[in-house]
Amino acid sequence: MPSVTFDAASRTYLLRTSTTSYVFGLDAEDTPVHLHWGPVLTQEQAASLPRPAAPRASSFDGVGPAEELGTEAGARFGTPSLQIAFPDGARGVDWRHLGHTIDEGHLTVRFRDAVQPFEVDLHYRVRGDVLERWIGLRSEVPVTILRCDSAAWSVPSLSGYRLSHATGGWSAEHQLRRTDLTVGETTLTSRRGVTSHHANPWLAVDGGDAGERHGEVWSCALAWSGSWRVTVTRTPSGSTGWTGGFGHEGLTWRLEPGEEWVTPVFAGVYAPDGFGGASRRWHDHVTQNVLPEPDELRPVVYNAWEAVGFDVAESNQKELAVLAARAGVELFVMDDAWFGGRTGDSAGLGDWWPNPDRFPNGLAPLIDEVHGLGMRFGLWVEPEMVNPDSDLYRAHPDWVLHMPGRPRTLLRNQLVLNFARPDVADWAHKWLHRLVGEHGVDFLKWDFNRAFTEAGQPGAADQDRLWIDHVRAVYSIMDRLRADHPHLRIEACAGGGGRTDLGILARTDQVWTSDNTDAHDRIAIQHGFSQIYPARVMAAWVTDSPNPLTRRVTPLSFRFHVAMAGALGLGGDLLKWTPAELAEAAALVGRYKEIRPVVQLGRQDRLEYGVQYTYGDQVVVLAWRGPVAHGTPLVPLRLAGVDPLGRYRDEDTGALHHGALLMAPGLLPDLPAGDYASTLIRLRALGPGSSD
Ligand code: DGJ
């Protein structure tokens, strides 16, 4: 059972999950200092933890003890989590403990600056195996905020440190990097106004000795969909920690008297059982505490973006819908270019009514057709953007992010609407509410295809506030749409997977993982994605071969088996698929529906060349191999999470397996010959006493 306790004698806070303890205490100067993050401790053990040595005895002694939130006051030389400038020019916060409250696993510890009427609340909330942290600020004098992280985290002293994180780019998101952590400061960040393709706001640190199933791992993830920054510090004296939050360097914000400033959650997980254990704790957290509809099976989607691009028409959408329905698709999504004068990427964005040439009778005929075929209907939208060549921009050129006298830099021929302006956010909410309501739209693919530039708001007192307020307005619109249209489901997309984070997942149902649908490339992308995000939110389409992006040729079954590891969709030009391919696709969609609860609701274990899902008595293994040289040995896949004393039947071949042997030596998959071989194996535990 999660618990939060305070030992008054030692002034120690202890937060416990079933597998973790987190301990911090107050030093003689009232500074909240970090004491432990790792295996479970009792209160007595926590109270006996050695306190850091008397701080800052010499200006040449390292950076000072690990703090729960470093500031700039006094002799502190580490990365500050909180940088505040007061009206008299003074900087830093000198902690004075005011007290705390504990409310159902939520600890709030209150502090006040020693000099200024400025208060900081440190929030801690235990949720399952995850510890959520954030802060709140209040001031009776106006202050400038230069950095305001949600939390600082410290790991125990280890003989080495390794950093795992995800990096990449458009069509190459979520590339897992695992590197020796250098002494100094390593910054992971986005300065783009959106989560970004280039870095994802999570990290993991281990001693360099952890594997998928063994070793200690400490991991954190930020619930924020705008600019962000995490600074990881390894000191020359051998300690490691990180601090992170929203915003990037150089932004400043004004906090006025009476205002409350609250940061997003920066959550942390300790796993004693390797990277797989850390991932499963994240998956459980996303499922149990983040997603709005966690238990709902994600539908099989069809989306024609790769098939028709901007050449959307009522006729081609209807033709494709017929084939999609025959293949077993449950949700038909019409992508870009159904609205305004949008026939390419240079015009029409912002004019959210059906293109009269393409849909002369509005959307109703297509939607009726889709519904008649037994599918739900979804639409692509990109509410935060505008093409200069649009009625919206001609009417409201001041609605975009801009700076007086500066160019308005176009990216993909579009500008960013400033949702920090209440009138702009209100406009967006109104048309989205009307669109969803009038047409009974079941699903929105909410896209975002360019970064912020010239992020100004002429006339606003606090220019940089828009970096935060824009994101909050997006969250608020999504929340209101969901509340008003309970059937509505939303997919987060930003030119592929550029907006994947725990903040957006609190109001969406899945993520468009990447514009790269090449199954071979997807294996690495999905591997990185799975480090903290669960399979049920990972949208994965089967598209054409050769792949339109990479020109790689792969078998249909390989494309399916890779996409079946997430929320399966179809995205190819079905009009060009042969009858045999369409029949194979229908059979594989049917097969996916059988395994869908196991994939989407089950436990995930990453295997050497595949992935395993376990749900109740069912086990699904998806295995794949790219091109390999002749003679490359095929090693058995060592399964996890099965009952070593149990027996399992292969549901397709009838073969029987002992659980213990599935784990070691493992299961040798029967992969077909040739490049891009893949297979799906379904096992079911035999009940006790079964005579098989
Ligand atoms: C980027 C998305 O990632 C694609 O799937 C597609 O929706 C295009 N935008 C449409 O412009």
Reduce the DSSP state of residue 157 to 3 states and report it. Answer: coil
Nearest CA to ligand 1 atom 2: 495
pLDDT band at 673; cut points 50, 70, 90: confident
Span from the CA of 397 to the centroid of ligand 1 (angstroms): 25
pLDDT in tens, 153-182: 999 999 999 999 999 999 999 999 999 999
pLDDT in tens, 591-606: 999 999 999 999 999 9
> What gap in Å lies between CA 65 and CA 81, rounded to an integer?
14
Whole-number Å distance, alpha carbon 278 to ligand 1 midpoint, is: 31
Atom nearest to 445 CA in ligand 1:
7
C-alpha distances (whole Å) from 9 to each of 13, 44, 48, 107, 454 are 11, 11, 11, 18, 53
pLDDT tens for each residue of 121-132:
999 999 999 999
Is residue 562 helix, strand or coil? helix
C-alpha 312, offset from chain centre = 30
Distance of CA 651 to the CA centre of its chain: 34
Asked whether residue 62 carries a pLDDT value surpassing 70, the answer given is: no
Closest approach atom of ligand 1 to CA 496: 3
Output the CA 491–ligand 1 centroid distance in Å. 12
Residue 480 pLDDT exceeds 60: yes
Give the predicted TM-score (pTM) of the model. Answer: 0.97
Please give the distance, rounded to the nearest whole angstrom, from the Cα atom of residue 446 to the centre of ligand 1.
9
For 366, half-sphere exposure in the C-beta direction (CA atoms, 13 angstrom radius) is 26
Residue 195 CA, ligand 1 centroid: distance in Å: 17
Counting from 1 in the atom list of ligand 1, the atom nearest the Cα of 305 is: 6
d(CA 400, CA 380): 21
Does residue 59 surpass a pLDDT of 60? no
**DSSP state, 465?**
G
Mutate to test the pocket of ligand 1, among 301, 443, 449, 500 (most ligand atoms within 8 A of CB): 449
Distance between CA 619 and CA 631 in Å, rounded?
A: 30
Residue 519 pLDDT = 98
Query: Residue 687 has what pLDDT?
Result: 79
Shortest-distance Cα residue to atom 1 of ligand 1: 495
User: What is d(CA 684, CA 692) in angstroms, rounded to the nearest whole number?
Assistant: 12
pLDDT at 54 over 60: no
Choice from 170, 194, 336 to test ligand 1 binding pocket (greatest atom count within 8 A of CB): 336
* E strand or H helix at 622: strand 618-625
**Residue 58 confidence (pLDDT) above 90:** no
Report d(CA 218, CA 131) in Å as an integer: 12
Residue 7 is a catalytic residue:
no
Residue 61 confidence (pLDDT):
57
Confidence of residue 568 (pLDDT cuts 50, 70, 90): very high
- CA of residue 309 to ligand 1 center, whole Å: 9
Alpha-helical (H) ranges within 251-313 are: 274-285, 305-308
Instruction: Please say if 447 is a catalytic residue.
Output: yes
Question: Residue range 328-338: average pLDDT?
Answer: 98
The yes-or-no verdict on residue 407 having pLDDT over 60 is yes
For residue 493, which atom of ligand 1 is closest to its CA?
3
Pocket-testing residue among 306, 411, 447, ligand 1, by greatest number of atoms within 8 A of Cβ: 447
Contact at 8 Å (CB) between 515 and 496?
yes
Ligand 1 atom with the smallest distance to the CA of 494 is 3
pLDDT bucket at 479, cuts 50 / 70 / 90 = very high
Cα of 421 from ligand 1 centre, angstroms:
26
672 CA from centroid of ligand 1 (Å):
34
Pocket probe mutation, ligand 1, options 343, 384, 515, max atoms within 8 Å of Cβ: 515
**Choice among 56-65, 119-128, 327-336, 550-559 with the minimum mean pLDDT:** 56-65
Tell me: pLDDT of 264 over 90: yes
Mean pLDDT estimate for the chain: 96
- pLDDT tens readout for residues 353-379: 999 999 999 999 999 999 999 999 999
The percent of the chain in helix, strand and coil, each rounded to the nearest 5, is: 20, 30, 45
Q: Which of 129, 335, 469, 515 is catalytic?
A: 515
pLDDT tens per residue, range 95-110: 999 999 999 999 999 9
Minimum CA distance residue for ligand 1 atom 9: 495
- Rounded to the nearest angstrom, the distance between the alpha carbon of 308 and the centre of ligand 1 is 12
Residues 614-648: tens digit of each pLDDT: 999 999 999 999 999 988 899 999 999 999 999 99
In this structure, which residue's CA is closest to atom 11 in ligand 1? Answer: 336
Instruction: Give the active site residue among 273, 284, 336, 447.
Output: 447
CA 229-231-232 angle, 5° bins: 145
Answer whether residue 670 shows pLDDT above 90.
yes
Question: Ligand 1: residues within 6 Å at CB?
Answer: 305, 335-336, 380, 447, 449, 493, 495-496, 512, 515
Q: If 0-12 CB within 10 Å is exposed, 13-18 middle and 19+ buried, where does residue 328 land?
A: buried
Cα(449)–Cα(550) distance, integer angstroms? 21
User: Ligand 1 pocket: which of 512, 513, 517 to mutate (most atoms <8 Å of CB)?
Assistant: 512
Helix H or strand E segment including 44: helix 43-47
Q: Poorest-confidence range of 186-190, 523-527, 629-633? A: 629-633
- 302 Cα to the center of ligand 1, angstroms: 14
pLDDT reading at 56 higher than 60: no
Of all atoms in ligand 1, which is nearest to the CA of residue 303? 5
